[in-house]
Structure 1
């Protein structure tokens, strides 16, 4: 079997592994309820007082708060699927079937990151449509939508890669979930509220602050820019994948 054929077969196996367990469906369902439910609540609140809606507002503007729920769902789904077979021992037959660990790393990373990112983007698109339906007078311009989804796709994609890398490095669902949640959702606001300059700088360097900046345009550092936030997210994603990939390729599956 050639390299491309083996990569394709491994990718199909990774896709099947995601959707063959109940936890993946549960996480998607919980995320969907959270994202769409928040969009409906925002829409109902805004529709009750339409005079406060700016004339140039669009449904894409109102859907941004739902991105944080989608982000959490992407992180959880990517982490759980990256670590699942380490927890149940399935990694041993996986490596017997695909002994070329570099190829397994590539297939797992690409399939998990693309799948979870796509799930997040579909839910964000659905949330935007919900707002558009509920709130009278707001538009749904396609050009703005492509820009919004493209920017949010980068956030979700880098976050998924971060989760996959940490999951492969730690080989523990609980440990990886705690770590990625701390880096993206807990540490950034915690550090930003400490009365020290070093804490603000450290907060600005976390992937969570960059994600928040790219979603809402605000961050702990005055010198943050869209470019710096994107580079920070990419650096964290690459660093975590380097650590996780190194452990998958060089360490025994049982250690």
Structure 2
């Protein structure tokens, strides 16, 4: 059987595996309701206080407002779907179905990363449109495309980070703790240490890159968009390499 055929078959199986469990639907539905609900409340509040709205404000500012919720929700979904069959023991029939583990890793990473990235962009866009309409501000296309582009980088790298951690640890809880630490806790904790080198170390963490791409602010004043993208990409590639190595080299039960 050709590599393309095996990869396509594994990809279809991974897609079915994501949506065949209720938890995926519940997580996406709850996250979507929460994000849109927060955007609606913010839009109503802004409409009631028009003097507080900056002259250059657009509805896409909601992307920055809700993107962090999307990031953590989509990383959680990536971790859950990458570790689910290890937790249930279903990884054994999965490997029997696709014994070429390298192809399984590629299929799993691509399907999960693309799925959660697109979902995250859609949810953030819905929240931004709701906020823009209720607040009475514009929704310029160029601003929306620019925000969506940065979201793709943040969500895509975040998803690959979660998948890599999930495959490396084979534990949903451990992977979620590590992901939250790298994306939220450690960047803030290290940046607030009373040492000059601490801000530099903090800027090398994926959470700092995500915050800079979303809000335009980071632990260092000289951070750039390119540096933030490279930081997130490096962590995504590193975590993916660890996950691939564990999947390819270790038995399913170890």
Q: Tell me if TM exceeds 0.5.
A: yes
Q: Secondary structure at the match of 1:59?
A: coil
The match for 2:157 is 158
Q: Does 1:102 align with 2:102?
A: yes
Deviation at 1:55, TM superposition (A): 2.4
In structure 2, the partner of 1:57 is: 57
Output one character per residue of 1:67-123: Cα deviation in whole Å (capped at 9) or x when no partner. Answer: 010011111000000000000001000001100001000000000000011110000
The Cα of 1:210 is off from its aligned counterpart by 0.5
User: Given that residues 117 and 160 in structure 1 are in contact (C-alpha distance below 8 angstroms), is that contact kept between their aligned partners in structure 2?
Assistant: yes
- The Cα of 1:30 is off from its aligned counterpart by 2.0
Is 1:81 the counterpart of 2:106? The answer is no
- 1:1-255 superposed matches below 5 A: 1-136=1-136, 138-255=137-254
Contact 1:162 1:240 in 2 (8 A): yes
Distance between the aligned counterparts of 1:50 and 1:90, measured in 2?
Answer: 55
Deviations 1:161-189 (A, max 9, x none): 00000000000000000000110011111
* Cα offsets for 1:35-83 (capped at 9, x unmatched): 1121112111211111222222210123311001001111100000000
Describe the SS at the equivalent of 1:63.
helix
- Asked if structure 1 preserves the Cα contact closer than 8 Å seen for 2:62 and 2:127, the reply is no
Deviation at 1:155, TM superposition (A): 0.4
- Where in structure 1 do 4 or more consecutive aligned residues deviate above 6 Å? none
2-structure distance, mates of 1:223, 1:86: 42
CA distance in 1, matches of 2:176, 2:3: 33
Once residues 235 and 84 of structure 2 are traced to their aligned partners in structure 1, the CA distance between those partners, rounded to angstroms, is 22
What is the CA–CA distance in structure 1 between the aligned matches of 2:169 and 2:222, rounded to whole Å? 33
> How many residue pairs were aligned?
254
Point out where structure 2 has 5 or more consecutive residues left out of the alignment. Answer: none
Does the CA-based 8 Å contact 1:63-1:131 persist in structure 2? Answer: no
Gapped runs of 5+ residues in structure 1?
none
